[in-house]
């Protein structure tokens, strides 16, 4: 993807399409949850299918506590020497149980970080998606 | 650092010391906040000093809304071909205003992602830190 920053414009707001494209080419992100006032954040592998996010995780993972129709925030990013991007999603997480749902999840191509047999599936319905592209650089000196 | 996984132990729980060491050698993470029931997550650059985390960010960043003594969760990770690590911190964020506080923040060595002059500083007091090291691998086939 090409990113055209204007002069003095180190942060570029991406379109939804650009944001989805970045998410589709990455497989690692983090999910933030706030259950009973306890805020938490967990690293996840994810897949994208039909503009939904799919996670597959081991039992006992904290994702279990948030997967009951809970509001979540999700972030994925990529950092190179002189540029970076970050995409943030707000949505609702749902624990998948039916075979049809799990089949859809499999089509996202998500694979878990660690080998385990009894994992479970989570689908995140996306309410909003936003992306930023950053030109990295030095902090300018403040004029005295 | 050496990580010694046992057989069938793809996830290794790290000590606090190991977790701090990983945080000290990284500079990019994410902060999750839940203000007025709205959960959010933002990418940040950070520094570590005296077992506290320091962020430096531009005005208008969502961090401003969370920095008023808010509980936050923070995550940093690293991913290689066959291993990964993730460290999660729970703590309280504080907007820094005094010159002494900002001097301490500077000693953390944090630099912001993007060049701007009027940035502000946030300190995260750490309540808990936990780390995991993952041996990545294929999902085992389920025996029929």
CB A11 within 8 Å of CB A20: no
Output the pLDDT for position B97.
87
Pairwise pLDDT comparison (B64 vs B32), residue with the higher score: B32
Output the pLDDT for position A82.
86
Total structural domains within chain B:
1
**Interface test with chain A among B58, B102, B114, by most A beta carbons within 10 Å:** B114
The average confidence (pLDDT) of chain A is 85
Contacts of B140 in chain A (CB under 8 A): 115-117
Chain A with chain B: Cβ pairs closer than 8 A: 113
User: Do A73 and B136 make contact, defined as CB atoms within 8 angstroms?
Assistant: no
Domain membership of residue A35 (yes or no) is: yes
Contacts of A74 in chain B (CB under 8 A): 41
Domain membership of residue B141 (yes or no) is: no
Output the pLDDT for position A124.
94
We report the CATH number of the domain holding residue B42 as 2.30.110.10
Task: Quickly count: other Cβ atoms within 10 Å of residue B39's Cβ.
Answer: 22
Q: How far is A50 from chain B (nearest CA, A)?
A: 23
Strand blocks (E) in B50-119: 52-57, 68-79, 83-95
Domain membership of residue B33 (yes or no) is: yes
Distance separating alpha carbons of residues A83 and A79, to the nearest angstrom: 6
Domain membership of residue A113 (yes or no) is: yes
Q: With 80 as the cut, is the pLDDT of residue B63 above it?
A: no
Is residue B50 very low, low, confident or very high in pLDDT (cuts 50, 70, 90)? Answer: very high
Domain limits at A101? Answer: 12-135
Task: Quickly count: other Cβ atoms within 10 Å of residue A58's Cβ.
Answer: 18
Domain membership of residue B46 (yes or no) is: yes
Contacts of A10 in chain B (CB under 8 A): 114-116
Output the pLDDT for position B6.
86
Tokens linked to A21: 């494209």
Output the pLDDT for position A144.
39
Say if residue B16 is exposed, middle or buried (CB neighbours under 10 Å; 0-12, 13-18, 19+): middle
Domain membership of residue B25 (yes or no) is: yes
User: What is the pLDDT averaged over residues A31-58?
Assistant: 88
User: What is the pLDDT averaged over residues A117-133?
Assistant: 88
The average confidence (pLDDT) of chain B is 85
Q: Is B57 on the interface with A (CB under 8 A)?
A: no
Distance separating alpha carbons of residues B66 and B68, to the nearest angstrom: 6
Domain membership of residue A118 (yes or no) is: yes
User: What is the pLDDT averaged over residues A26-50?
Assistant: 89
Output the pLDDT for position B142.
46
User: Do A32 and B42 make contact, defined as CB atoms within 8 angstroms?
Assistant: no
Task: Quickly count: other Cβ atoms within 10 Å of residue A97's Cβ.
Answer: 9
Domain membership of residue A28 (yes or no) is: yes
Instruction: Please determine, for the modelled complex, whether the ipTM score is greater than 0.90.
Output: no
Q: Which residue of B has its CA nearest to A92?
A: B39
């Amino acid at each position: 993807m090409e990113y055209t920053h204007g002069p003095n414009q180190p942060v570029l707001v991406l379109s939804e399409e650009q944001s989805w494209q970045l998410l589709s080419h990455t497989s690692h992100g983090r999910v933030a949850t706030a259950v009973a006032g306890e805020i938490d954040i967990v690293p996840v592998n994810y897949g994208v299918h039909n503009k939904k996010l799919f996670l597959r995780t081991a039992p006992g993972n904290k994702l279990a506590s948030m997967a009951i129709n809970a509001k979540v925030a999700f972030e994925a990013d990529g950092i190179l020497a002189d540029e970076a991007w970050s995409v943030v999603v707000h949505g609702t997480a749902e624990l998948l149980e039916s075979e049809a749902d799990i089949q859809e999840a499999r089509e996202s191509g998500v694979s878990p970080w660690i080998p385990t047999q009894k994992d479970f599936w989570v689908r995140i319905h996306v309410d909003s998606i936003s992306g930023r592209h950053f030109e990295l650089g030095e902090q300018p000196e403040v004029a005295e």
